[in-house]
Amino acid sequence: AGAQRRSPWLGHGWEQGRWSEVGDPDRSSEGRNTHLLTDSLRIISIIIILAGAIALIIGFGISGRHSITVTTLTSAGNIGEDGILSCTFEPDIKLSDIVIQWLKEGVIGLVHEFKEGKDELSEQDETFRGRTAVFADQVIVGNASLRLKNVRLTDAGTYKCYIITSKGKGNANLEYKTGAFSMPQVNVDYNASSETLRCEAPRWFPQPTVVWASQVDQGANFSEVSNTSFELNSENVTMKVVSVLYNATINNTYSCMIENDIAKATGDIKVTESEIKRRSHLQLLNSKASLCVSSFFAISWALLPLAPYLMLK
């Protein structure tokens, strides 16, 4: 009779040991919820990992396309004259894809903007209005240099050359100094009572130092036999430099060297019994290149620290 006894669970799907797999109804419901939650977390983790992998792939592609080299050259501007702020970049075959922006630290508006093959000056700061231009015919070969007309003392500062092309973006900073510098000319002062040389340079700022030198008497100190004066010019900024050297001798080469923190100029003269030879040259100081490679690896690499955390889930 006991063997013929029908299990109360027969017909309810619990025969043949399935009761041991499921247990009582309450515990079965809790187990199913736990499995569902675990599966959901796994799916979410997989989705996030896949999204991260896709972002890495895209990021590498973007970083390859969106990094260009921009190079600037620190230079100096001569007050009242035109100056050049030098900037070059990797050329682009399409002029319409090139955007050039010049910015200055402390200035709200743009210094200059060039895009779609022409100047775009709607956002230009008024202090630069009518004074800037790029070399439009050279932009296509990677020249983004800016021509600055009628340089002012206040034009000094830190500038940024910002470039956008079909290859990507890039920028580099440039330190621009302003002052005044000019070539000196040395002549014989025939009005003096002794053999005297007169060195004159029309415009300098800040105030320079003046040193005389001799080819014959190398290393000699001529400060006791020379006199230097500075005369303020009419605009009350630049000054005329006049230096006189006494007791000069013939068949000797003398050099008048004028220097400030922006430029160094030298005027040479050689006086013989039959002729006078002169030579002058000027050198800008502290001119150096600044190179910047703009890249966007950070976009893709920012996701890497998350990968181990997601894998552990």
pLDDT in tens, 141-181: 999 999 999 999 999 999 999 999 999 999 999 999 999 99
Task: Please determine, for residue 192, whether its predicted confidence score (pLDDT) is greater than 50.
Answer: yes
pLDDT in tens, 4-14: 444 444 444 44
Q: Write down the residue that tokens 């017909």 correspond to.
A: 11
DSSP states along 263-311: EEEEEEEEE-SS-EEEEEEEEESS--EEEEE---HHHHHTTTTHHHHHH
**117 vs 137: CA distance, rounded Å:** 9
Two structure tokens written together for 57: 């792939």
185-284: same fold as 69-179? Answer: yes
Rounded to an integer, what distance in angstroms lies between the CA atom of residue 113 and that of residue 136? 12
Query: Lowest-confidence range among 115-129, 236-250, 278-292?
Result: 278-292
pTM: 0.69
Residue recorded with tokens 């800037």: 132
More confident residue, 15 or 130: 130
Q: What is the mean pLDDT of the chain?
A: 82
- CATH homologous superfamily of 69-179 equals Immunoglobulins (2.60.40.10)
Distance (Å, rounded) from C-alpha 190 to C-alpha 199? 13
Distance CA 146, CA 159 (A): 11
| Lowest-confidence segment of 97-111, 155-169, 227-241, 298-312 by average pLDDT | 298-312
**Residue 101: partners with Cβ closer than 8 Å, 6 or more residues away:** 110, 112, 113, 160, 161, 162, 163, 164
C-alpha distances in angstroms, 147 versus 12, 170, 281?
92, 20, 23
pLDDT tens-place string over residues 64-81: 457 899 999 988 999 999
Amino acid (1-letter code) at residue 113: E
Pick from 194, 190, 198: which is nearest to 269 by CA? 198
Residue 111: per-residue pLDDT: 98
Residues 306 and 65: their CA atoms lie apart, in Å, by: 25
Architecture of domain 185-284: Sandwich (2.60)
What is the per-residue pLDDT for 20? 44
Instruction: Select, from the ranges 109-113, 272-276, 290-294, the one with the highest average predicted confidence (pLDDT).
Output: 109-113
**pLDDT above 70 as % of the chain:** 71
- Kindly list the domain boundaries of the chain, sorted by start residue: 18-65+304-312, 69-179, 185-284
Beta carbons of 73 and 84 less than 8 angstroms apart: no
Is a pLDDT exceeding 80 seen at residue 203? yes
pLDDT at position 284 is 92
H helices of the chain, in order, are 18-22, 25-65, 297-301, 306-312
Asked if 170 and 294 touch (Cβ cutoff 8 Å), the reply is yes
> What is the predicted pLDDT for the residue at 261?
94
43 pLDDT band, cuts 50/70/90, is confident
Tokens found for residue 229 = 């004066």
pLDDT band at 194 (very low <50, low <70, confident <90, very high): confident
- Write the burial class of residue 54 (CB in 10 Å: 0-12 exposed, 13-18 middle, 19+ buried): exposed
